[in-house]
Amino acid sequence: MGPPEDEASFGRGTIAPMPLRVAFIAAECEPWAKTGGLGDVVDALARALASTPAEALETPVDVFLPRYRGLEVPSDRLLGSQTIRVPDPHRDGTATTPVEIIDVRADGYRLRLVDHPASFDRAGYYGDEAGDFPDNAARFGLFCRAAVGVLRAERRMPDVLHLHDWHAAPAIRYAPAAGHAQAVGHAPAGTLPPAILLTVHNLAYHGWTPPDRVHELGEEWTSITAPSEGVDLLRAAIQGADLINTVSPGFASEALTAAFGMGLDGDLRGRGDRFFGILNGLDTDLWNPATDSVLAAPYGRRDRKGMAACRADLLTRLGMDPADDGPVLGMIGRLDPQKGFDLLAEAAPRLLADGVRLVVQGSGPPDLVGSLRRLAATHADRVALIERFDRDMARRIYAGADGFLMPSRFEPCGTGQMVSLRYGTPPIVHATGGLADTVIDEPTNPGSGTGFVFRDATADDLVRACRAFVARHGAGGQPWEALLDRGMAVDFDWRTASAPAYVAAYRRAIELKAAPAPVIEPRLG
């Protein structure tokens, strides 16, 4: 028998709270499927939650992920599989389609792959050269339905469903009917559906579903949508979740403004203090220059000697002169307008004239890097462009470059700046979102900065910050070493602050769910 539990004490801390059961729904999770920071964060948070005190969470947590093409499960990690049937989004009426749920022992959590080849055995996760897949609502709707469906079938509904980005948003309308965790005795039988925490990693992608596709989301959505209207899935989840966070306090404030809100600032403002920021952490086991086996030499904060070998190794591999000790700036990212590759391209001729060399890795559709490609072709010894997602090369860049560029136009959090700090490579970042929250500008805080921060998303301002960097790099000596040391000392470990903040958010989401619904005056007009 567990401790006595009744409605009055539930979740209010009058007795020791029961461990929570949490399930994630997400479209990416490293190392199984990743195009960007979303994949890193889903994996790292799920793993960090495994090391929270046992009384806080029931672990391991579940992470639902689509089984994309090529995602193979090593047999020694296979925990089991089962087939459930869900409504077939491509057919009308009561037709159902089988979905296999494959359970995998991941590192610190249970990965639950949703296997439906017609939806996910494709050349891309979200689209191909022709653009987004037109049936994305059907695909991610089915994914969410299967996740909620299997939890319901197992009678193990979590206390909190943690939805990540628009791909998980369809669940907002499948979950309420699901019934609560009677089996684990957290609440009076059947009284509470799972509380929902929505984490917005990227406010730019909404999962817009046009009117002629809404039926693919099923009756739960068509019944609330007029036939002429489409559905903005992210907006619907923002409106319906018990609690919403984004991945830094800075971006949480920015998102409330028209300039950064991507059309959803009004909806976010409407949720009041139910919308807030939790700064992402960094997986300090995965990102550790002292144990990084890809690097030419290990190093750490107390002994940075290995950095020189890492720099020489990077430059040699790219056909650049390792003996030239002029500044080398690295940049890594998805080829997305968000990331500011165009600012770098515009700034590049001035930077090259200043003696800077550039090492740029960009993955995704290449139309954004035309001018960088031309520069790389004409200045092969000074500009390297790596047009692919290359995990090992990324590590070599973090370690071997002298500085790391993140000129993002907006950045809900960003991972690269945290990695580069830990790898002793000072970041040069635009003052936005999580970048502004994690990097302290050395020129305006001499002796206490960790990098270089520029105010405006313009090539001119970027050049200004790079010149400040170049001056300090060139001067070298103790001030430079102290700058690296401060950056390497910053503690971004998930376990320190971010994971505990999520546990607190889970508890708050449950309390909000359990509280009587506020009376909402109908809005006219």
Residue whose CB is less far from ligand GLC, 37 or 66? 37
Q: DSSP character for 301? A: S
Phi, psi of 343 (to 5 degrees): -65, -40
Structure tokens given for 76: 């020694």
Residue among 38, 56, 86, 421 that touches ligand GLC (CB under 6 A)? 38
Distance (Å) of CA 258 to CA 253, 279, 369, 370, 408: 11, 22, 28, 31, 18
36 touching ligand GLC, by CB under 6 A: yes
Phi, psi of 339 (to 5 degrees): -80, -10
Spatial distance between the Cα atoms of 226 and 413, rounded to a whole number of angstroms: 36
412 touching ligand GLC, by CB under 6 A: yes
Q: Which residues contact 4 (CB under 8 A, 6 or more apart)?
A: 15
Residue among 11, 19, 37, 330 that touches ligand GLC (CB under 6 A)? 37
Residue whose CB is less far from ligand GLC, 60 or 414? 414
411 touching ligand GLC, by CB under 6 A: yes
279 touching ligand GLC, by CB under 6 A: no
Closest CB 37 distance from ligand GLC, rounded Å: 3
Closest CB 73 distance from ligand GLC, rounded Å: 25
Residue whose CB is less far from ligand GLC, 157 or 279? 279
Q: How many residues belong to the site for ligand GLC (CB under 6 A)?
A: 14
Residue whose CB is less far from ligand GLC, 37 or 306? 37
Residue whose CB is less far from ligand GLC, 73 or 244? 244
Q: Among the candidate windows 30-38, 150-158, 293-301, 344-352, which touches ligand GLC by CB under 6 A?
A: 30-38
Start-to-end CA span in the chain (Å): 53
Binding mask 189-228 for ligand GLC (x = CB under 6 A): ------------xx--------------------------
Q: Which residues contact 70 (CB under 8 A, 6 or more apart)?
A: none
What is the chain's Cα-based Rg?
Answer: 24
Residue whose CB is less far from ligand GLC, 118 or 490? 490
The DSSP H or E segment spanning 405 is strand 403-406
Distance (Å) of CA 178 to CA 146, 168, 193, 230, 294: 12, 16, 6, 25, 46
The runs of H, that is alpha helices, within 427-476 are: 433-438, 459-475
Yes or no: say if 64 and 143 are a contact pair by the CB < 8 Å rule. Answer: yes
Q: Among the candidate windows 152-160, 406-414, 424-432, 499-507, which touches ligand GLC by CB under 6 A?
A: 406-414
* Alpha-carbon 439 to chain mean position: 18
41 touching ligand GLC, by CB under 6 A: yes
Under DSSP, is residue 315 helix (H, G, I), strand (E, B) or coil? Answer: helix
Residue whose CB is less far from ligand GLC, 200 or 348? 200
Closest CB 414 distance from ligand GLC, rounded Å: 5
Spatial distance between the Cα atoms of 378 and 383, rounded to a whole number of angstroms: 9
Q: Among the candidate windows 31-39, 140-148, 383-391, 467-475, which touches ligand GLC by CB under 6 A?
A: 31-39
Residues that bind ligand GLC in the complex, under the rule CB under 6 A: 36-38, 41, 201-202, 247, 280, 411-415, 434
